[in-house]
């Protein structure tokens, strides 16, 4: 039996071979979900529609990088959509202290809990893990990785020193990773 996830992974593999029919089928099956991801982050329908076009250009260009053994097709697609939408969001505002600018590479920790949250089955796991964090730390994680706020913006919002915010996020991501690995 071929599952929806298996089908999406197969379509991405065919797109890597430049199969236009597979690309059309992938768009038909995944565009509502990816549009929802973009809209949730950007909160503007016009921007989300424009971002969706750019997301599919990236999918076409990066299809050969997809490794099915590292996750599902939908997880990979959602990660591209999420990252692109956050890039659009960040381009809207003036430059600030970028997350990870101090050598703490918290964005590249694997597995990325926010990407896992985009999957239906994984959503419940990430919610359970987020509940294990203190509420202020869970809020900071959501703001950083969903809204794209910088360390400086988060420190001001939570009224803590900048280095404290960096520590909060790093430790929270480590706790989330531990929880997700259980």
82 plus 112 within the same structural domain: no
pLDDT at 50 over 90: yes
Tell me: do 56 and 131 sit in the same domain: no
Same domain? For 123 and 88 the reply is no
**Whether residue 108 sits in one domain with residue 25:** no
- The CA radius of gyration of the chain, in Å to the nearest whole number, is 17
Our count of domains for the chain comes to: 2
Non-local CB neighbours of 101 within 8 Å, separated by 6+ positions: 151
Q: C-alpha angle 92/103/166, rounded to 5°?
A: 70
| Tens-digit pLDDT profile for residues 6-33 | 788 889 888 889 999 999 999 999 999 9
Of 92, 110, 132, the domain-final residue: 92
> Domain of 142: which CATH number?
1.10.10.10
- Same domain flag for 88 and 142: no
103 and 53 share one domain = no
Min mean pLDDT across 29-33, 48-52, 127-131 is at: 127-131
For residue 173, what are its two tokens?
Answer: 């991501």
- Are 108 and 81 members of one domain? no
Distance separating the N- and C-terminal Cα atoms of the chain: 28
Identify the pLDDT of residue 97.
54
Which of 70, 92, 114 finishes a domain? 92
Closest CA to 118 of 35, 15, 7: 35
What pTM value is reported for the model?
Answer: 0.51
Single out the residue in 92, 120, 150 at which a domain terminates.
92
More confident residue, 170 or 108: 170
Greater pLDDT, 30 or 95: 30
Task: Give 36-47 pLDDT, tens digit per residue.
Answer: 999 999 998 999
Answer yes or no: do 88 and 104 share one domain: no
The DSSP letter of residue 146 is T
The enclosing domain of 2 has a CATH number of: 1.10.1740.10
Look up the domain containing 76 and give its range.
Answer: 1-92
Query: What string of DSSP letters covers 95-162?
Result: ----TTTTS--GGG-SS-HHHHHTSHHHHHHHHHHHHTS-HHHHHHHHHHHTS---HHHHHHHHT--H
pLDDT, tens digit (0-9, with 9 covering 90-100), for 54-94: 999 999 998 888 866 567 788 889 889 999 999 998 887 76
């Amino acid at each position: 039996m071929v599952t929806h996830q298996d089908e999406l992974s197969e379509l991405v593999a065919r797109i890597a071979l430049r199969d236009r029919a597979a690309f059309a089928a992938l768009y038909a099956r995944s565009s509502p979900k990816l549009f929802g991801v973009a809209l949730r982050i950007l909160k503007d329908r016009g921007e989300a529609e424009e971002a969706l076009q750019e997301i599919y250009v990236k999918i076409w260009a990066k299809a050969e990088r997809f490794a099915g053994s590292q996750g599902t097709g939908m997880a990979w697609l959602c990660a591209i959509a999420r990252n692109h939408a956050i890039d659009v969001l960040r381009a809207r505002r003036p430059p600030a202290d970028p997350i990870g600018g101090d050598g703490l590479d918290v964005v590249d920790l694997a597995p990325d809990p926010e990407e896992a949250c985009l999957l239906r089955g994984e959503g419940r796991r990430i919610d359970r893990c987020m509940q294990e964090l203190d509420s202020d730390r869970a809020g900071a994680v959501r703001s950083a990785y969903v809204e794209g706020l910088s360390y400086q913006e988060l420190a001001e919002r939570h009224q803590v020193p900048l280095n404290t915010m960096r520590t909060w996020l790093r430790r929270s991501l480590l706790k989330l990773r531990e929880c997700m690995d259980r």
